[in-house]
Structure 1
Amino acid sequence: MNRIDELFAKKKSDVLNVYCTAGYPHLNSTVEVLTALQVNGADLAEIGMPYSDPLADGPVIQESNMIALENGMSISILFEQLKHMRETIELPIILMGYMNPIMQYGLEKFCASAEAVGVDGIILPDLPMYEFETTYQQLFNQHNLRFIFLVTPETGEERIRKIDSLTSGFLYAVSSSSTTGNNKAISDQTNYFKKLQNMQLKNPILVGFGIKDKATFQSASAYSNGAIIGSAYIKALQNTINIQATTKEFLNSITE
């Protein structure tokens, strides 16, 4: 089984997925951040591959993308950094990014490299569902990579079911039609979360966008299998001099 599948087979609720940008706050911070997340209670780690035009991301993650690119981060360097990751990291690892740099790297090469270093899943918000189904699905499957699609409050029920049929690993339920780090109240989306819950979809559901503290994590988790925290963690890392201590403090504020 894939590590993502194993996680959801064991843990059905309050799953905490934490996003970090590769190469942030410093070029060589990536594995140190993953280690800190693992030690301090994250269930999943989502690594953002920096891109100059991250459409789904708000200003905090956009800025972390710019800093990581200025630090010299690239897909090639990321895979080099992750080469020995599985000697110490047991967390399921997801790579999140955009098609342009991946196509430049080579999609088949990307999937092979991801499998080789022990990546478990991929999120590409700008890969159309039709293209995935007709052209790329088999490639991801061949390399044991779960492919995670996003749904929003505006996604119709028929399309949600279609997305669910193509998704593997978990379904990423965007809390609002906005960018990451938005300040819209999670509690305002109760009907949307209940709708997803009542549809009895085949995939577990994690809620993302706007999850920033214990209250929002618990609100999202009440109607799903857990939630994804990104911008709030990136903010916590902004001026840290001790990634381990900062991560411990941040995650404890969510889980304890």
Structure 2
Amino acid sequence: MNRIEQSLSMHNSNGKDPKKLLSIYFTAGYPNLNDTSQVIKQLQASGVDMIEIGLPFSDPLADGPTIQASSTKALNNGMTTEILFDQLKSIRDEVSIPLLIMGYFNPILQYGIEAFCKKCSETGIDGLIIPDLPVDVFHKEYLPIFEKYGLYNVFLITPQTTDERIKYIDTISKGFIYMVSSASTTGAKNSFDQDQQQYFQRIKNLSLKTPQIVGFGISNHETFEQATRHANGAIIGSAFVKFLKEHSLEEIPRFVDNILVDPN
């Protein structure tokens, strides 16, 4: 069984009060080129359930200023797809939680779709999140390659995605659906407004077969609780990347505690 599915099954096995999954995104090669594996190990040790490793790209359209800046810094540090795979080659000796690579389609296409998927499989990557790869194109052209290498491809939905489209995505999804909390770019917020709460409820009412994890705008315990009220988990990116800019890697457990532990 794919580790993503395993982790979600474990979280849902608590009966009436399943534990909500916490996934953290960070940019590979940030803040320093060789920090990637250390960040991953620290996150696992801190109790994070899943990690999304950002493959930096020069034109990250869906990302807000914090993640864009981290991507630029990582590229300036010398990060490449090949270096990332090299950094991850023995990561499975020490890390057991699910790992996904989140990146734009262009660098993956340049590397070669099958070559990229093969390398992911060899290094123990469980899935990919490619925001600019349309679900229909994936379904028609690339699904067999992903299945060959045991990789899940995670699709994004937004408040603007129609119910019909969401149901189509649900039929071909594995692992989870990435539920984008708003139509804007990524970025930390202090709370979710009523429209977003209604959107979370709308998705819940569709009774999808695939678990949903909320991303964009989660930065603290309150937004984590709000986001997971109607979903299986939440993803934190910008707030963690900002934390990495301002603190040492040894302080990562403090960041995770602030998300998971109610300050009151």
Q: TM-score range by the shorter chain?
A: over 0.9
Partner secondary structure for residue 186 of structure 1? coil
Query: Of residues 222, 227, 230 in structure 1, which corresponds to 2:234?
Result: 227
- Note if 1:43 corresponds to 2:49: yes
Which residue is 2:254 aligned to? Answer: 249
Structure 1, unpaired ranges of 5+: none
Aligned alpha-carbon RMSD (Å): 1.0
Contact 1:58-1:182 within 8 A present in 2 as well? no
SS at match of 1:132: helix
Q: How many residues align?
A: 254
Q: Is the Cα contact below 8 Å between 2:33 and 2:74 reproduced in 1?
A: yes
User: What's the counterpart of residue 34 of structure 2?
Assistant: 28
Matches within 5 A, 1:22-101: 22-101=28-107
* 1:198 matches 2:205: yes
1:164 to partner: Cα distance: 1.1
Which residue matches 1:209?
216
Structure 2 match to 1:169: 175
**Distance in 2 of aligned mates of 1:238 and 1:43:** 22
Question: Counterparts of 1:95 and 1:124 in 2: how far apart (Å)?
Answer: 8
- Is the contact between residue 25 and residue 64 of structure 1 (CA under 8 Å) also seen in structure 2? yes
Task: Measure the CA separation in 1 of the matches of 2:31 and 2:83.
Answer: 15
Q: TM-score of the superposition, structure 1-length normalised?
A: 0.97
Name the CA distance, whole Å, in 2 between partners of 1:208 and 1:166: 20
Over the matched positions of the two proteins, sequence identity in percent amounts to: 46
| TM-superposed deviation, 1:185 | 4.0
Instruction: Find the aligned partners of 1:145 and 1:186 in 2 and give their Cα distance.
Output: 32
Given residue 91 of structure 1, which amino acid in structure 2 is its aligned partner? I
What is the DSSP-based 3-state SS (H/G/I as helix, E as strand, rest coil) of the residue aligned with 2:246?
Answer: coil
- For the residues of structure 2 that align with 1:192 and 1:218, how far apart are their CA atoms? 16
User: Which position in structure 2 is the counterpart of 1:5?
Assistant: 5
Structure 1 residue 182 displacement after superposition: 5.2
Taking the aligned partners of 1:252 and 1:183, their CA distance within structure 2 comes to 18
Is the CA contact 2:50–2:99 (under 8 Å) kept in the aligned structure 1?
Answer: yes
Equivalent AA in structure 1 for residue 39 of structure 2: V
Is 1:187–1:219's contact at 8 Å kept on the other side of the alignment? no
Structure 2: runs of 5+ lacking an equivalent? 13-18
Distance in 2 between residues matched to 1:96 and 1:63, nearest whole Å: 16
Query: Which runs of structure 1 show a deviation greater than 3 angstroms over 4 or more consecutive aligned residues?
Result: 182-185
Which residue in 1 is equivalent to 2:151? 145
Report the Cα distance in structure 2 between the residues aligned to 1:130 and 1:14, rounded to whole angstroms. Answer: 30
How much has 1:204 moved relative to structure 2?
Answer: 0.8
Shift of 1:187: 3.7
CA contact (8 A) 2:85 2:119 kept: yes
Counterpart for residue 236 of structure 1: 243
